Amino acid sequence: MLSLVIGALVGLVVVAFILLTGRLAAHMYPAGGSGWRRVLVPVLGSLSTGYLLWRYFPSARGSGIPQTKFALFIDDGRIQFRTVFGKFFCCSASLASGIALGREGPSVQVGAGLASVVGRNLGLDAKQVKALVPAGCAAALAAAFNTPIAAVLFSLEEIMGDLHAAVLGSVVLSAATSWMVLHLVLGDDPLFHVAGYQLVKPAEFGVYAVLGVVGGLGSVSFVKLLLGLRAWFMRLPKSSVWLQPVAGGLTVGIMGYFVPEVMGVGYNYVEKVLNGDIVLKLVVLLAVLKIVATAVCYASGNAGGIFGPSLFIGAMMGAAVGGVAHSLFPQSTAGPGAYALVGMGTAFAGVVRTPLTSVIMIFEITRDYTIIVPLMISNLIAFFISQRLQPEPIYEALAQQEGVHLPNVHSASQTDRIQVRQAMRSGPVVLSPDLLVGTALPMTKGTLDAWPVVGEEGLLGMIRNRDLENASSSGGGDKRLAELFDSPRGHSNAEQLPHVHLDHSLGLALQRMGTSDLNVLPVVSRANVRQLLGIVVLDDILKAYGVGKHE
Amino acid sequence: MTTFALVFLAIAALFAADTYLARMESSESAIEATRLFNEGQAMVARGDNLNAIERIRDALSIQRTNRYYQQSLAEAQLAAGRTADAEVTLRGLLESDPTDGQANLIMGRVLAKEGRFPEAISYFHRAIYGQWGQDVPRNRLRARFELIDLLAQRDSKEDLLAELLPVQDQVPRDLKTRTRMGRLFLRAGSPARAIDIFRGIVKEAPFDADGYAGLGESEFTEGNYPAATRAFESALRMAPADDSVRKKLDLCHELLALDPTLRGLDPAERLNRSRKLIELAGEELSKCVAAGSLNQKAGRVTESNVDLAEEIWQARAKECKSQPAADDPLALVMARLAR
């Protein structure tokens, strides 16, 4: 029952979000408006929404998918109503102003947030609220994309990281209800109307494979550029956070002045391309411009997602590959529209890394089954290339830039094994970074092989007894412990800090001990990798497996 | 309970707001789509087909299920020579409704332009027997006439006749249409039907030059040269400046002057004409046959002439009482030939 209510509520809110964004865009860009409007409106839009996001809704920045995963895995499914409110209005204004981001990610956060708010207000416990969040996500995506099956898959594959999650029933019910609401209000219309395409000759699979390679490389370029720019913006002074989104607004405004198609989500132009209406040079230009525009808009902190832009970029790359192939082999290849269609799924698989969802999504968006086999081939190639060249999926990488370690499929698969929490020592003795080596040495003898060093900013790293002995014997007894690390703040990159999380398996802990040459690993929070929760020691792990020394 | 009540209240309010927004968007979108479509149609009328395609696509991106827009897009694509795009557009339309008469008709035109005639003919037939929103008989007839014109261009006589026969009694009775039908029957290799139609026309409109000209051509095709001559002469009286009719009339006169089988000719004239025929045929033959081959053919012609001369000589022997002189060279040659 609650899933149905959540589905209906989220569906209606997302429909309102879509319609409101459309109305705002129509007023911001009236027919026959001057070209300067395309520069001015995104700048003003990003400035105003940037300020609102910084001042009132800091949790509503960005896509919404990583934030939803934070809430689900780290904060017991808790998303504030203020965040939902801020996401809805700031994102609507931002997208209407022409910012080159998508509406689907924000819709997911809004949906998850509403499910969380309703669940908590009904007095449900944390576990029940957490179970409602994926239902809200699925309902939101079903309404935003008009793709109920893909929405269910996405909730399980990306949000939960488990296709066999126990919440499947509620997720399906919620997505179906939301989809019905969407149809009730907006009618039965797929996101894109696409002419029926088919494989012309079996040799065409080769061209689709090339598209997979191009899509994979394009996706990696996009993700790397976005992450690089995001890291750069994060290094800027915190006082500039409210102003940073203007960089995105200005970039898209200048591009939009010359090439208006790059602005906003761009689904209208995607539909044209899907129907074979392309100019080769323009689609290549648009693929490049959209990659840059979306990366800058997202990295600078505008509110909006990367689903829609991924589809746009993929459609342009596909149309470019198809355009070239069709001009070279007109009798043996389908028109560029068919490749644009496959390209959408390819880029989605490469960027978001949910290959199954991407296949089903393209099928649902276009309701065209004939192209499904080339789509699968192309998607898989892009997926493998992306996985190889950019091992960390984009949402996990974005979370890690924020210092949050989200569980991935690998860690999720270990939850049913013996976990670190079962062997962890809480409240361990920690060393201060200001302690002198000579003072620390006697304190550490005879008990553990390594010790956590914790300062004001949290865990700096682990220090081995033999490091202390080496430092002391080489005349460094009066050195501070902090000086033994590469940087005074400890390991400069959280990824260089060997650690485990509570839900990791002991097997993974053993593996990391081997890799880091430490018998003791710090157990840290997923929300903040420098927050020490305890330590896990080799002997305790062996005991947990029943092979250790028994007292 | 309070939370549930609030949620249901929110659902009701959102539903009302969404419906209102959706209607507002729908009506504004319809106005914008109509504006864009009209611009596109105006461009088509000016022959600016490429820009028209853009405009109609823009209109279609707003009202994607509008079949009329889709048909117009396909027509603009066809006019711009982008037949592959037009085919894709039409396949989408026909997938949702394979009986759509107008879409089938445009598809027929597209495929005909691509030179895929058997497929094109099939789509024209689907258009003829398909569903039309309004003015069904007129639209079906229009579709059939497009097919007829295509078949006439391709000179597919049998197919053309097969298409003409069913519409013979359906076409409007105006002179222009009947003249067109007469000419089409003539083109389909059925001059007798064409003669009937043109006779009907000149009976009803005795001053219609086109009717007489058509009648003349039909009679000519049927081999009725005197009747054709009379019809051409009548046509020229109505339209003396018509050079094409004059040429046909001249041809008729030449033909009649040469034909040895015409009624009312005396035997001498028939003989003269037959000799003339042999002479002209020989001349014609020598124009187009190589020397060696000509010698062989000339040998065969000579033998035929000698046989004919022997026959006539024998007939003379029976009919004439006087014997030729003994030293008459002709008698000597004939005697030698007889041996």
> pLDDT tens-digit profile of A243-284?
999 999 999 999 999 998 899 888 888 888 887 777 888 999
Q: What CATH number is attached to the domain comprising B122? A: 1.25.40.10
pLDDT, average across residues A457-482? 84
Q: Which of residues 417-446 of A touch B (CB under 8 A)?
A: none
User: How far away is chain B from the Cα of A539, in angstroms, using its nearest Cα?
Assistant: 51
Q: Which of residues 329-368 of A touch B (CB under 8 A)?
A: 335, 337
SS3 A303: strand
Minimal-distance CA residue of chain B relative to A269: B61
B11 contacts on A by Cβ (under 8 Å): 5, 8-9, 12
The residue with greater pLDDT, B2 or A242, is A242
Residue B14 sits at the chain A interface (C-beta within 8 Å): yes
Contact across the interface for B21 and A12, Cβ inside 8 Å: no
Contact across the interface for B89 and A195, Cβ inside 8 Å: yes
Q: Which of residues 56-75 of B touch A (CB under 8 A)?
A: 57, 61, 64-65
pLDDT band with cut points at 50, 70 and 90 for residue A487: low
Within 13 A of B172's CA, how many CA atoms are on the CB side? Answer: 10
- Residue A20 has what pLDDT? 92
- Please report which residue ranges of A97-147 form alpha helices under DSSP H: 104-121, 126-145
Instruction: Residue A374: count other Cβ atoms within 10 Å of its Cβ.
Output: 26
Element (H, E) at A537: strand A532-537
Contact across the interface for A12 and B14, Cβ inside 8 Å: yes
- Residue B282 has what pLDDT? 66
Looking at the partner chain, which of B32, B61, B89 has a beta carbon nearest the beta carbon of A271? B61
Contact across the interface for A16 and B15, Cβ inside 8 Å: no
The Cα–Cα gap between B278 and B280 comes to: 6
- Residue A459 has what pLDDT? 87
Looking at the partner chain, which of A15, A118, A268 has a beta carbon nearest the beta carbon of B3? A118
Q: Which of B1, B4, B9, B14 to mutate to test the interface with A (most CBs of A within 10 A)?
A: B14
SS3 B327: coil
Q: Which of residues 136-155 of A touch B (CB under 8 A)?
A: none
| Two structure tokens written together for A25 | 């865009």
pLDDT, average across residues A429-449? 82
User: How far away is chain B from the Cα of A146, in angstroms, using its nearest Cα?
Assistant: 16
| Two structure tokens written together for A253 | 């405004």
Residue B9 sits at the chain A interface (C-beta within 8 Å): no
Looking at the partner chain, which of A22, A193, A268 has a beta carbon nearest the beta carbon of B25? A22
B25 contacts on A by Cβ (under 8 Å): 19, 22-23
- Residue B294 has what pLDDT? 62
Rounded percentage of chain A residues whose pLDDT exceeds 90: 32
Contact across the interface for B61 and A118, Cβ inside 8 Å: no
Q: What is the CA B308 to chain-centroid distance, rounded? A: 46
> pLDDT tens-digit profile of A285-326?
999 999 999 999 999 989 888 988 999 999 999 999 999 998
Looking at the partner chain, which of B3, B28, B57 has a beta carbon nearest the beta carbon of A121? B3
> pLDDT tens-digit profile of B89-133?
898 889 889 999 999 999 999 999 999 999 999 999 999 999 998
The residue with greater pLDDT, B181 or A545, is B181
- Residue B297 has what pLDDT? 67
- In-domain check, residue B128: yes
pLDDT band with cut points at 50, 70 and 90 for residue B298: low
- In-domain check, residue B258: no
Positive or negative, the Cα torsion across A336, A212, A218, A395?
A: positive
- Residue A510 has what pLDDT? 86
Residue B45 CB burial class (10 angstroms; 0-12, 13-18, ≥19): exposed
pLDDT band with cut points at 50, 70 and 90 for residue A493: low
Phi, psi of A461 (to 5 degrees): 160, -175
Contact across the interface for A16 and B91, Cβ inside 8 Å: no
The Cα–Cα gap between A192 and A275 comes to: 10
| Adjacency order of strands within the sheet including A520-524 | A425-426, A532-537, A520-524
- The domain in which residue B302 lies consists of 289-339
In single-letter form, the type of residue at position B208 comes to D
- In-domain check, residue B2: no
A194 contacts on B by Cβ (under 8 Å): 92
Contact across the interface for B57 and A13, Cβ inside 8 Å: no
- In-domain check, residue B204: no
> pLDDT tens-digit profile of B55-90?
998 898 888 888 999 999 999 999 999 998 899 889
- Residue A490 has what pLDDT? 55
Which of B220, B262, A191, B221 lies closest to B233, judged by CA? B220
- In-domain check, residue B223: no
User: How far away is chain B from the Cα of A301, in angstroms, using its nearest Cα?
Assistant: 29
* Cβ–Cβ pairs < 8 A, chains A and B: 73
> Are B252 and B262 spatial neighbours (Cβ–Cβ below 8 Å)?
no
Q: Which of B170, B197, B215 is the last residue of a domain?
A: B170
Contact across the interface for A185 and B18, Cβ inside 8 Å: yes
Q: Which of B170, B203, B223 is the last residue of a domain?
A: B170
User: How far away is chain A from the Cα of B12, in angstroms, using its nearest Cα?
Assistant: 9
Q: Which of A84, A185, A282 to mutate to test the interface with B (most CBs of B within 10 A)?
A: A185
User: How far away is chain A from the Cα of B153, in angstroms, using its nearest Cα?
Assistant: 28
> pLDDT tens-digit profile of A95-133?
999 999 988 889 999 999 999 999 888 888 888 888 889
- In-domain check, residue B8: no
pLDDT, average across residues A332-361? 88
- List C-alpha distances in Å: B47 to B53, B71, B88, B90: 11, 17, 22, 21
Looking at the partner chain, which of B22, B24, B61 has a beta carbon nearest the beta carbon of A268? B61
A275 contacts on B by Cβ (under 8 Å): 57, 88-89
Q: Which of B136, B170, B204 is the last residue of a domain?
A: B170
Buried b / exposed e across A226-255, counting CB within 10 Å, b at 16+? bbebbeebeeeeeeebbbbbbbbbbbbbbb
Minimal-distance CA residue of chain B relative to A178: B11
Rounded percentage of chain A residues whose pLDDT exceeds 70: 94
pLDDT, average across residues B34-49? 94
- Residue B198 has what pLDDT? 93
Contact across the interface for B92 and A9, Cβ inside 8 Å: no
B92 contacts on A by Cβ (under 8 Å): 193-196
Residue A118 sits at the chain B interface (C-beta within 8 Å): yes
Where do the domains of chain A lie, and which CATH numbers do they carry? 2-186 (1.10.3080.10), 204-401 (1.10.3080.10), 414-544 (3.10.580.10)
Residue A196 sits at the chain B interface (C-beta within 8 Å): yes
SS3 A78: coil
Q: Which of residues 40-59 of A touch B (CB under 8 A)?
A: none
Looking at the partner chain, which of A5, A193, A337 has a beta carbon nearest the beta carbon of B64? A193
In single-letter form, the type of residue at position B198 comes to F
- Residue A488 has what pLDDT? 53
Mean of the per-residue pLDDT values of chain A = 86
> pLDDT tens-digit profile of A422-434?
888 888 888 888 8
The Cα–Cα gap between A294 and A308 comes to: 10
Contact across the interface for B14 and A23, Cβ inside 8 Å: no
- Residue A413 has what pLDDT? 56
The Cα–Cα gap between A188 and A200 comes to: 30
Angle CA(A55)–CA(A59)–CA(A64) in degrees, nearest 5? 135
Residue B142 sits at the chain A interface (C-beta within 8 Å): no
pLDDT, average across residues A352-372? 81
Minimal-distance CA residue of chain A relative to B19: A185
B32 contacts on A by Cβ (under 8 Å): 31
Domain count, chain B: 2
- In-domain check, residue B180: no
- Residue A147 has what pLDDT? 86
- Residue B276 has what pLDDT? 79
Instruction: Residue A473: count other Cβ atoms within 10 Å of its Cβ.
Output: 9
Contact across the interface for B17 and A5, Cβ inside 8 Å: no
Q: Which of A1, A4, A193 to mutate to test the interface with B (most CBs of B within 10 A)?
A: A193
Residue A101 sits at the chain B interface (C-beta within 8 Å): no
Contact across the interface for B11 and A9, Cβ inside 8 Å: yes
> pLDDT tens-digit profile of A34-86?
888 889 999 999 999 999 988 888 888 878 888 888 888 888 888 889 999 99
Beta bridge partners of A303: A62
Residue B1 sits at the chain A interface (C-beta within 8 Å): no
B28 contacts on A by Cβ (under 8 Å): 26
Which of A538, A486, A489 lies closest to A512, judged by CA? A538
> pLDDT tens-digit profile of B277-296?
777 776 666 666 666 666 66
Residue A124 sits at the chain B interface (C-beta within 8 Å): no
Q: Which of A5, A13, A15, A20 to mutate to test the interface with B (most CBs of B within 10 A)?
A: A15
